Amino acid sequence: MTRVVVPAHAKINLCLEIVGRRVDGYHDLCTVVQSVTLADTLIVEQGPSGMTLEVEDPAIPSDANNLVWQAAEQLAASRKQTIPGTRIRLEKRIPAGAGLGGGSSDAAACLVALNRLWNVGLSIAELVQIAARLGSDVPYFLQGGTALLTGRGIVVTALPDLPKRPILLVYPGAPLTSREVYSQLAAPLTPGVKTASMTRFRPNADSTAEAWVRFGNDLAPYAKRLCPDIGVVEECLLAAGASAVGMTGSGSAVFGVFRSAARMQGAVRSLARPGWRVMSCELLGCRDYQHRLGLAGRGFDPSWRDVGHGDH
């Protein structure tokens, strides 16, 4: 095998609850995430010597500051070997600083692709162990579909697939980093009453994306301080007929859930704004996700629970 191509799908956080602050400075959270069809593409090939990384987006680093590079180093280190001659090309479609998990998904896709190209032969469970060292969301991207993430986002519990829905993603053109948004948590907001806690919510066969979104995103008020357009996008999506609207991750992208593709396409036209990027996609179930990454039949099943082996 001399060339491997793997998609790196985006995710949305249907809801997100900050449970508390840890002694190590990180925050414990409880969030339901969902993979969508929007994806980057990772192309890995055998090269003459060493490793090169080419990224289409000049704003994204193409060196050791990129999680893709770090994933390759970690995979090689796990086998106590140097990186063989490898060329990596990353074709970006997921905007950076949007809360869509693009960097983490790219890292997971790199582990999958190089595991094949280098003929390393690691199991999914072994890849998950490496993924947990790379970042909070990375283990999830070795599973996909609908899942509950807890702790620092490393402990992954598979949930039943949700009914397919068209999704409209709107990136208001202002990137936010998790560090920026989480730093705002020290500043008080006007207290509000939460009508329900997602930590007490239990999914059932009738669960929908809309049902999860009702639990909200605890980071949204803080992100809106830094990027007021988040609230504007939410209002526009609701006015355009979305059945549920939420901010994903720590922002700044906002998603709208639609009941039909026709209604969503109408919304695309109404959301044209200078600097905004509007992307249509749909929910992606676990088995379909694993098939696209070539993980189907490799010992990974959506009935698995606690994919992350503890909170590191």
pLDDT single digits (tens) 120-168: 999 999 999 999 999 989 999 999 999 999 988 889 999 999 999 999 9
In a domain, 289, yes or no: no
- Looking at the structure, tell me whether residues 134 and 266 fall in a common domain: no
Do the beta carbons of residue 129 and residue 219 sit within 8 Å?
no
Using alpha carbons, select from 33, 16, 17, 29 the residue that is nearest to residue 209.
33
Tokens of 256: 């709208």
- Looking at the structure, tell me whether residues 66 and 173 fall in a common domain: no
Q: Quick one: how far is CA 305 from the chain centroid?
A: 19
- Looking at the structure, tell me whether residues 140 and 172 fall in a common domain: no
Say yes or no to pLDDT of 309 above 60: no
Domain boundary, last residue among 121, 140, 159: 159
pLDDT of amino acid 185: 82
Residue with tokens 């947990």: 132
- From CA 70, how far away is CA 10, in angstroms rounded? 19
In a domain, 288, yes or no: no
Give the model confidence (pLDDT) of 7-58 as tens digits. 999 999 999 999 877 666 677 889 999 999 999 999 999 998 889 999 999 9
Mean pLDDT of 254-262: 96
In a domain, 142, yes or no: yes
- From CA 264, how far away is CA 195, in angstroms rounded? 29
- Looking at the structure, tell me whether residues 207 and 241 fall in a common domain: yes
- When the pLDDT of each residue in the chain is averaged and rounded to a whole number, the result is 89
CATH classification at residue 191: 3.30.70.890
Confidence class for position 312, pLDDT limits 50, 70, 90:
very low
Query: 11, 106, 161, 224: which one is catalytic?
Result: 11
- Looking at the structure, tell me whether residues 177 and 269 fall in a common domain: yes
Is 164 catalytic? The answer is: no
pLDDT of amino acid 310: 35
pLDDT of amino acid 79: 85
Is 11 catalytic? The answer is: yes
Domain boundary, last residue among 130, 159, 188: 159
Q: Which residues constitute the domain of residue 195? A: 166-282
H/E stretch holding 181: helix 178-183
- Looking at the structure, tell me whether residues 43 and 110 fall in a common domain: yes
Tokens of 147: 């899942």
In a domain, 304, yes or no: no
The total number of structural domains that make up the chain: 2
Domain boundary, last residue among 159, 178, 207: 159
Q: Quick one: how far is CA 10 from the chain centroid?
A: 5
CATH classification at residue 56: 3.30.230.10
Confidence class for position 300, pLDDT limits 50, 70, 90:
very low
- Looking at the structure, tell me whether residues 11 and 98 fall in a common domain: yes
- Looking at the structure, tell me whether residues 247 and 200 fall in a common domain: yes
Say yes or no to pLDDT of 299 above 70: no
pLDDT over 70 percentage in the chain: 87
Mean pLDDT of 84-98: 97
In a domain, 264, yes or no: yes
Using alpha carbons, select from 196, 199, 290, 209 the residue that is nearest to residue 244.
209
Say yes or no to pLDDT of 302 above 50: no
In a domain, 278, yes or no: yes
- Looking at the structure, tell me whether residues 247 and 216 fall in a common domain: yes
Mean pLDDT of 263-278: 93
pLDDT of amino acid 205: 56
Mean pLDDT of 267-276: 93
In a domain, 191, yes or no: yes
Q: Quick one: how far is CA 24 from the chain centroid?
A: 23
- Looking at the structure, tell me whether residues 172 and 141 fall in a common domain: no
Query: 40, 137, 161, 218: which one is catalytic?
Result: 137
- Looking at the structure, tell me whether residues 122 and 55 fall in a common domain: yes
Mean pLDDT of 252-280: 95
Higher pLDDT, 49 or 299: 49
- Looking at the structure, tell me whether residues 139 and 171 fall in a common domain: no
In a domain, 297, yes or no: no
89 beta partners: 43, 54
pLDDT of amino acid 195: 45
Give the model confidence (pLDDT) of 180-228 as tens digits. 999 888 665 554 445 456 655 566 656 899 999 999 999 999 999 999 9
DSSP-based three-state secondary structure for 38: strand
